[in-house]
Structure 1
């Protein structure tokens, strides 16, 4: 029972950071797993569905913008991963974590830099997290179309920065991130 975990959404200036944890079934390999950033949106969506169907176990968890502002993005990323791992209904032998930091866990864990391109279980977690976060940003776009979250997924693109200058911020913006804090007059 080896679990892979990864997150999506550390760089955006709005919305949650989403993490996934996946235990793959060695008897049902999934072709095409890779770092979610190296896959097209269409390929990620197809793989996400296949992962959910074929994995032994999977879970998705997150930290919202308020939690990110309260504890910082690194700690929120680790907490989201911990939540995803702890939501799995199985005793794990080991957890493989993408990156160079580990969440606090009660199971042996290993941080693997670039793990989402190396270990299929981390790749699968990367894909689930990215697809879920993108899905949420599309939903937030319906509530706040003036920011065009559907297009940039809340990354600090020139268009997004111009939108927060024009419209101010909305409840899902991360107030501790400099571009947002600047609009609020909290930093120069």
Structure 2
């Protein structure tokens, strides 16, 4: 008789339901039944992820005017924190990119998944670019205009020009039709891919800043106003990387003038 471990190994390699799986369900051993249940859960999850991938891809395809139109997705990371840059990314994906099944809004997937997908996106993309907008520009322009400018710069830096741009909730002035998509990182594969590149780039930058300024906890809070960050501001003051147009840094800056 085939052992439970052998069955688990066979199930691990099984991609689609088949006659053997149907026959296996008559095996009354509890370990076998548990293995079948686990396989079915994983299979159903893969099916949901693939269906979501197809839906996101169909959304992007709906903006194509021809079969060879290139769609660039644009997104940002870091509009809300008290410190650090806002980072934007632009991504043009190829027609066939099923390897990116599971790509979603960067906030909905784990850090490990984001890192893995970021590498795949860079490998698979027709073109991508990342733009880093520093705190000083955010203070000069305001966060909305600084983000908009950064998104437009990310589009302009693409080595291959898109026919159409879809951006997450931002109206852009670029040299092709551009559309602002509410909750675009949930609807568009290209925007979701851009959100992952923006998020992973920014997280890496904030980890580097943490090494210089460990008392703010940038590696944990990414520049948001957590208790540790606020305590660091109270004890050590602010840095050039803090946004002087954001409270409480704005008041601290005013008190110095």
Class of the TM-score when normalised by the shorter of the 2 chains: over 0.9
- Counterpart of 1:27 in structure 2 is 96
- Tell me the CA shift for residue 80 of structure 1: 1.0
Gaps of 5+ in 1: none
Q: Distance in 1 between matches of 2:109 and 2:185?
A: 12
The structure carrying a bigger strand percent of its residues is 1
- The structure showing larger relative contact order (alpha-carbon pairs under 8 Å, at least 6 residues apart) is 1
- Tell me the CA shift for residue 182 of structure 1: 2.3
- Counterpart of 1:115 in structure 2 is 184
Moved more, 58-67 or 22-31: 22-31
Compute the TM-score of the two structures, normalised by the length of structure 2: 0.70
- Counterpart of 2:126 in structure 1 is 56
Three-state SS of the structure 1 residue aligned to 2:87 is strand
The structure carrying a bigger helix percent of its residues is 2
- Counterpart of 1:159 in structure 2 is 228
- Larger Rg, first or second structure (1 or 2): 2
- Tell me the CA shift for residue 114 of structure 1: 0.3
RMSD after superposition:
1.0
> Deviating runs (4+, > 6 A) in structure 1?
none
- Tell me the CA shift for residue 102 of structure 1: 1.2
Compute the TM-score of the two structures, normalised by the length of structure 1: 0.95
- Counterpart of 1:182 in structure 2 is 251
Select 1:47's aligned residue among 97, 111, 117.
117
- Counterpart of 1:11 in structure 2 is 80
Three-state SS of the structure 1 residue aligned to 2:91 is strand
- Counterpart of 2:64 in structure 1 is none
